[in-house]
Structure 1
Amino acid sequence: MSLKGKILVCTAGWLVLITALHCYLNVNWGAVLNDFRPPGKRKVVVAYIPVTCQLTCPVTDYISKFSENGEIFFPRMFQGFPEIKEALISNKVQAAFVVAPLAIALVSQGVPIKVVYLGHRYGSALVVRKNGPVKNFTDLRGRTVAIPSRFSDERLILFRAMKVWGMKPGDIKMVEMAPPDVSGALAAGAIDGFVMGEPFPSQAELGGFGRVLFQARDYWPDYMSCILVVRQDLIDKRPEAVQVLVDGIARSGLWLDKGKPYREDAADFVGRYYYNQKPALLRWALTHPLDRVVYSQLSPRKADFDMVRDLMIETGVLNKKIDFSEYTDTRFSDNASIQTAWKYQPGIATAK
């Protein structure tokens, strides 16, 4: 074989080796092969977006890998709720963290899903440009504010604030925008403000171009936004898998609420391995102050959802009353209420 031929063979062999190593180290083969397993043995695929309202999803995935039974589900990250909605309807994901109004709207449209748990309480804020013309809420009259979806609690927060300040629904122009895009849009002057979940308010603050005008809890005590929904066919055929999912999420919430060191650890591994965000940003959002977002005591409550439903009707995104029992299944959260926090410490490769 000529020298040129030997070089080509060696180069091809090197490329094959590198490709094989990449596939071995970076591809989750369990997730890739999941669809080929018998339906009753497939792991649930859970959709989420990179916000702290949904932090228990990656935290559960990360910690459960160190447990005796291994990972509970396969997480799949999206950038916005419209894509999650389509994936949920088409059964590409069987569970998802979405905003509460979207879940209610989907059920009213005949999509067979149920709310089984909350993702958090608090954690959303209205942010405006730091040195901009908006000094108080009424200065937003005639200006543009980004929201994650017309079916979002953040949109409802704006309407609640507008009512308090005597403003009409059309006084603020609301535009839908994927959460990861809002900070850049605010910095560029494309919008005058945004209402989003963390860490994007913190991102604007730390970037020096944003200022929190108000926290969601200022106008909505016990505010909730993101909730966990599951397809009805999974509930009917594999309720035990749904219970394991809810138990894991509940345990992660309790673990996060144990104190600052746990949140700092979560900021590190979630930022690096899941959200592709700087851990310092997540640390700020999760610890300034510690109750900026809360992850425990998250069973769905009828009063909370009735208020969301009524606000949706009042603001024109829902055309009929839908009862709490039609879109929730509380038996899983009831059973999860006896769970305890994960026993996991950074640097120790075991979890219980």
Structure 2
Amino acid sequence: MPLDTDAPPRPTLRRPVLRTLRLGFVPLTDAAPLLVAQELGLFDAVGLRVALTAEPSWAALRDKLAFGALDAAHMLGPMPIALAAGLTGVKAQVTVAAGLGANGNTITISNALVQELGRLARPLGAASFAALVRRRAAQGRRPLTLAVVFPFSSHNYLLRHWLAEGGLDPDRDLRLTVVPPPMVAQRLADGAIDGFCAGEPWGSHAAALGAGRIALSTGDIWPNHPEKVLAFAADYATRDPESATACTAAVIAAARWLDEPANQAEAVNILRRRAFPRLDRAEIAAAFEGMAEGLPLDAPLRFHNATLPRREQAAWFLRQMRRWGHVPAAVSDSAALAPWRQDIWRAAAARLHEAEPPAPSPPPSSPLGDSPEHA
């Protein structure tokens, strides 16, 4: 039979080429929504291909997002403000599409400080710690060194607020230094620092090492405070809003799954396999169980209710950044808080038939206001 050259060509079926979303995280318990979303196939379920990479420090993650090596990241709550303001010479616009957790940090102090206190009643009161600092100063001893994980972090500003409640000036009465989260426990064990504020499981790891004791959690300072966020490079969220929305939907679903008690054991398995292969299972499980050294926390790590990004919560961090002279007066509130958007979260939540989470706890107030008390 002769070939019919007038017949229309047969259509060629081609699978769409999926662009891989490059998503970075720092190994911490509150990166769980990202790890769970990948492990449970939630990214696949929304038609998204994700390359999830662990970064060694917050500075490395920030730079990769700012300069285009990442499309999105697990990010410290105050970091988008720092990027918008161009602090430390790195300026970039990001879009905060969701929160990744509430609470989840602990303040851990050395065994030597516990002995000086005489008795550690948790949560350690700011006045008791301040009395210890003043006693050491009166004896002519060196100032204490406390570590935070990044200059522009909830850890830094909540720790500063707590110290100021005791009447201390964090910039004059102590020495604050920056140590990446995976290194804080060993630095405490080595005596290089006297304490630290970091996300779990590093406080529990330090206690398990015998390097120190957990004195309080940041949830004791501000119950249910916002912690990490899911931030997209601003041009990515604009260029591919469908992928940003799909990713956010997967994260919301993962957060809901994580808050189910029946899923805690599997969550710990995922975190141990993907983030903490060298840690004991009990050290990872503590945050999911709402425990610190075997005692329950009043404000434990939670995920789902923190997913809606709230600008009014971010505004507290901005006030603290101004209070301590970290944000220039020339940077307007509107510019600093521009990264916080709810439209992506609401579009994602609509796909999941998610209701808006309940209103969060109000932030702590400062007895003398939020002006720079140390000036």
TM norm. shorter chain > 0.5: yes
- Contact 1:47–1:96, Cα closer than 8 Å, also in 2: yes
2:98 aligned residue: 117
Q: 1:336 aligns with which of 348, 351, 357?
A: 348
Q: Distance in 1 between matches of 2:144 and 2:320?
A: 22
Structure 1 position 284, deviation (Å):
2.2
After superposition, the Cα gap between the structure-2 partners of 1:64 and 1:193, relative to the gap in structure 1 and judged at 3 Å, is: same
Q: Distance in 2 between matches of 1:295 and 1:316?
A: 31
Structure 1 position 269, deviation (Å):
2.0
Superimposed CA distance per residue, residues 332-352 of structure 1 (whole angstroms, 9 cap, x where no aligned partner): 1123334379xxxxxxxxxxx
2:217 aligned residue: 215
Instruction: Give the match's secondary structure for 1:194.
Output: strand
Structure 1 position 68, deviation (Å):
5.0
- Contact 1:185–1:191, Cα closer than 8 Å, also in 2: yes
Report whether the alignment pairs 1:106 with 2:111: no
After superposition, the Cα gap between the structure-2 partners of 1:178 and 1:336, relative to the gap in structure 1 and judged at 3 Å, is: same
Q: Distance in 1 between matches of 2:273 and 2:287?
A: 15
- Contact 1:156–1:311, Cα closer than 8 Å, also in 2: yes
After superposition, the Cα gap between the structure-2 partners of 1:66 and 1:219, relative to the gap in structure 1 and judged at 3 Å, is: closer
- Contact 2:33–2:255, Cα closer than 8 Å, also in 1: yes
Counterpart residue identity of residue 336, structure 1: A
2:311 aligned residue: 302
1:199 aligned residue: 201
After superposition, the Cα gap between the structure-2 partners of 1:311 and 1:66, relative to the gap in structure 1 and judged at 3 Å, is: closer
Structure 1 position 292, deviation (Å):
2.1
Instruction: Give the match's secondary structure for 1:79.
Output: coil
Superimposed CA distance per residue, residues 46-91 of structure 1 (whole angstroms, 9 cap, x where no aligned partner): 1101111221111111111795567641111012111011111221
> Residues 1-352 of structure 1: matches in 2 within 5 Å?
41-64=18-41, 72-109=49-86, 110-132=91-113, 133=115, 135=117, 136-138=128-130, 139-140=132-133, 142-169=143-170, 170-259=172-261, 261-278=262-279, 279-287=281-289, 288=291, 289=296, 292-297=300-305, 298-319=307-328, 320-323=331-334, 326-338=338-350, 339=352
Q: Distance in 2 between matches of 1:70 and 1:237?
A: 17
Instruction: Give the match's secondary structure for 1:190.
Output: coil
Task: Give the % identical residues.
Answer: 22
Superimposed CA distance per residue, residues 141-174 of structure 1 (whole angstroms, 9 cap, x where no aligned partner): 6200010111111110121112210111321211
- Contact 1:101–1:151, Cα closer than 8 Å, also in 2: yes
- Contact 1:251–1:340, Cα closer than 8 Å, also in 2: no
Q: Distance in 2 between matches of 1:67 and 1:233?
A: 23
Structure 1 position 273, deviation (Å):
2.9
Q: Distance in 1 between matches of 2:337 and 2:193?
A: 39
Instruction: Give the match's secondary structure for 1:294.
Output: coil
TM-score (norm 2): 0.75
Q: Distance in 1 between matches of 2:46 and 2:254?
A: 16
Q: Distance in 1 between matches of 2:309 and 2:214?
A: 28
Q: Distance in 2 between matches of 1:140 and 1:192?
A: 12
- Contact 2:98–2:309, Cα closer than 8 Å, also in 1: yes
- Contact 2:47–2:246, Cα closer than 8 Å, also in 1: no
Q: Distance in 2 between matches of 1:277 and 1:249?
A: 26
After superposition, the Cα gap between the structure-2 partners of 1:72 and 1:255, relative to the gap in structure 1 and judged at 3 Å, is: farther
After superposition, the Cα gap between the structure-2 partners of 1:329 and 1:303, relative to the gap in structure 1 and judged at 3 Å, is: closer
TM-score (norm 1): 0.80
Higher helix share: 1
Q: Distance in 2 between matches of 1:228 and 1:140?
A: 37
Structure 1 position 222, deviation (Å):
2.5
Counterpart residue identity of residue 59, structure 1: V
- Contact 1:137–1:213, Cα closer than 8 Å, also in 2: no
After superposition, the Cα gap between the structure-2 partners of 1:253 and 1:168, relative to the gap in structure 1 and judged at 3 Å, is: same
Instruction: Give the match's secondary structure for 1:203.
Output: helix
- Contact 1:97–1:227, Cα closer than 8 Å, also in 2: yes
Instruction: Give the match's secondary structure for 1:127.
Output: strand
Counterpart residue identity of residue 325, structure 2: G
After superposition, the Cα gap between the structure-2 partners of 1:48 and 1:174, relative to the gap in structure 1 and judged at 3 Å, is: same
- Contact 2:83–2:92, Cα closer than 8 Å, also in 1: yes
